[in-house]
A = this chain, B = another copy of it.
Amino acid sequence: MEKDTLDPWGTSSIKDYSRLQSEFGIAPVAPLVSRFRNPSPHIRRGIDFGQRDLGRVLDAVDNNKPYAIMSGIKPDGAFHLGNKMTADDMVYFQSLSKKATVFYAIADVEAYADNGLSFAETAKTAIRNVADILALGLDPDHAVAYKQSEEMRVMRMSTIFSRGVTNNMLRAIYGERQIGLYLSALVQAGDILMPQLPDLGGPKPVLVPVGADQDPHIRLSRDLADRYHSEFGFVPPSAIYHRLEFALTGGYKMSKRVPESGFTLDDTPTEASKRVRAAFTGGRDTTEEQRRLGGRADICPVYDLYQFHFARDDEHVKRVYNECTKGIRLCGECKQEAAGLVKSFLEAHHRNRDSMMREAKELMAKSRSYLTSTGK
Contact = CB atoms under 8 A, between A and B. Distances in A.
Interface stretch (A150-158, A294-302, A318-326): A150-158
Interface stretch (A4-12, A29-37, A162-170, A359-367): A162-170
Interface string A311-354: 00000000000000000000000000000000000000000000
Contacts of A159: 109-110, 112-113, 183-184, 187
B178 A179 contact: no
B187 A113 contact: no
Contacts of A183: 158-159, 162, 179, 183, 186
Interface string A47-66: 00000000000000000000
Contact of A150 (B152, B158, B160): B152
Contact of A179 (B113, B156, B162, B187): B162
A74 to B, nearest CB: 13
A234 to B, nearest CB: 16
A232 to B, nearest CB: 12
* Category for how many chain A residues contact B: 20 to 34
Interface string A130-152: 00000000000000000001101
Contacts of A178: 165-167
A182 interface: yes
B152 A113 contact: no
A92 interface: no
Contacts of A156: 109, 112, 149
A114 interface: yes
A119 interface: yes
A163 B376 contact: no
- Kindly list the 3 A-B residue pairs having the minimum CB-CB distance in the complex, ordered from nearest: A155-B155, A162-B180, A163-B180
Interface of A: 109-110, 112-114, 116, 119-120, 149-150, 152, 155-156, 158-160, 162-167, 170, 178-180, 182-184, 186-187, 231, 376
